[in-house]
């Protein structure tokens, strides 16, 4: 019988307190996993026996190492890492400020490298395989106006996914990426406001423009993305590695 059962598995989800990450956390809990939701903001969130909220900046190597030690102390092992935390910044390429470029690269690219490396070392030591799932974007495959630093960072995520997939294959560690399209989250709301200001449009116009670009006729829910992440965390994706899976309602097809 087919069943997305993650009982006995321990998963780390970065950026797990809101948006796509939070949907992934709850999908994993529903499948029986124990989950660590790592985020910059965990204030007033209540941990349970199955769910640990942990405050850390994924772009800081010391904090990442400490987070991994805490996960092992708390749940005894690690099986799944979802590198979901990310930020965006908008400007025309000729106007991007150096500090904005660095900030986006630090979180979106360096954060993925630091967390993947720390978890991969742990998975290799455990010797029982594992799953690393990186949330890239269709911006990891295409260019989009005003998104220079973000597009570059998400291409970097896909590149690193492929290298880790090759290097960790012999340890039965699958490394794949999900490339969401347009997902209704706070990040997307902010992008519509800032993009609107830069283009002389209002946020609602941009939302209509977004929807008009999606063949399936709607933008994504966070659940649409979590569904595919669950599949990539399950045994049903054991023969997939190094892939960047589009979840875009048909907007990106390569
Ligand atoms: N929303 C979209 O349309 C869309 C599309 C494609 C890809 N994505 C990607 O999906 C992921 C989640 O995006 P979202 O829309 O849910 O965003 P969001 O802004 O709603 O949530 C991001 C979460 O990451 C956390 N975070 C940010 N920097 C962090 C850091 N340095 N350390 C720890 N946590 C940090 C934030 O506190 C927040 O909880 C991101 O990687 C984003 O690039 C989003």
Residue 95 CB burial class (10 angstroms; 0-12, 13-18, ≥19): exposed
To test the pocket of ligand 1, the residue of 53, 88, 185 to mutate (highest count of ligand atoms within 8 Å of its CB) is 185
Q: What is the CATH number of domain 10-183+221-247?
A: 3.40.50.720
Residue nearest atom 34 of ligand 1, based on CA coordinates: 39
Q: Compute the chain's Rg from CA coordinates.
A: 18
Q: pLDDT tens digits for 77-129?
A: 999 999 999 999 999 999 999 999 999 999 999 999 999 999 999 999 999 99
Q: How confident is the model at residue 4 (pLDDT cuts 50, 70, 90)?
A: very high
Q: pLDDT tens digits for 195-236?
A: 999 999 999 999 999 999 999 999 999 999 999 999 999 999
pTM of the model: 0.99
Rounded to whole angstroms, the Cα distance separating 69 from 77 reads 10
Rounded to whole angstroms, the Cα distance separating 13 from 81 reads 6
Atom of ligand 1 nearest to the CA of 138: 6
Q: pLDDT tens digits for 157-203?
A: 999 999 999 999 999 999 999 999 999 999 999 999 999 999 999 99
Please name which of 36, 35, 29 lies closest in space to residue 5, comparing C-alpha atoms: 29
Q: Where are the alpha helices (DSSP H) in the chain?
A: 19-30, 61-75, 98-105, 111-126, 148-168, 186-199, 203-212, 222-233
Query: Tokens for 55?
Result: 């405050």
To test the pocket of ligand 1, the residue of 85, 147, 224 to mutate (highest count of ligand atoms within 8 Å of its CB) is 85
Rounded to whole angstroms, the Cα distance separating 21 from 17 reads 6
pLDDT at 38 over 90: yes
Domain range list for the chain: 10-183+221-247
* Rounded alpha-carbon distances, angstroms, from residue 211 to 68, 138, 144, 216, 250: 39, 15, 16, 9, 12
Residue whose tokens read 């949907």: 23
Site residues for ligand 1, CB cut-off 6 Å: 14-15, 17-21, 39-41, 57-59, 84-87, 107, 111, 135, 137, 180, 182-183, 185-188
Among the options 53, 92, 150, 236, which is catalytic? 150
């Amino acid at each position: 019988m087919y069943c997305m059962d993650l009982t006995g598995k321990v998963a780390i989800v970065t950026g797990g307190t809101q948006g796509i990450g939070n949907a992934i956390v709850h999908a994993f809990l529903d499948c029986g996993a124990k989950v660590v939701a790592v985020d910059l903001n965990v204030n007033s969130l209540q941990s349970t026996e199955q769910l640990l909220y942990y405050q850390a900046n994924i772009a800081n190597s010391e904090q990442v190492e400490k987070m991994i030690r805490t996960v092992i102390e708390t749940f005894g092992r690690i099986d799944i890492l979802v590198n979901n935390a990310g930020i965006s910044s908008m400007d025309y390429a000729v106007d991007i400020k150096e500090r904005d470029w660095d900030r986006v690269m630090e979180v979106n690219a360096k954060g993925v490298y630091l967390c993947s490396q720390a978890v991969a070392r742990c998975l290799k030591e455990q010797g029982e395989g594992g799953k690393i799932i990186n949330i890239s974007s269709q911006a990891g495959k295409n260019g989009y106006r005003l998104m220079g630093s973000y597009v570059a960072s998400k291409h970097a995520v896909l590149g690193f996914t492929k290298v880790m997939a090759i290097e960790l294959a012999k340890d039965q560690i699958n490394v794949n990426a999900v490339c969401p399209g347009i997902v209704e989250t706070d990040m997307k709301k902010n992008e519509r406001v800032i993009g609107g200001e830069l283009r002389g449009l209002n946020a609602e116009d941009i939302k209509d423009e977004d929807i008009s670009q999606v063949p399936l006729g709607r933008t994504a829910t966070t659940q649409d993305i979590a569904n595919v992440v669950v599949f990539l965390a399950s045994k049903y994706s054991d023969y997939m590695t190094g892939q960047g899976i589009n979840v875009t309602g048909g907007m990106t097809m390569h």
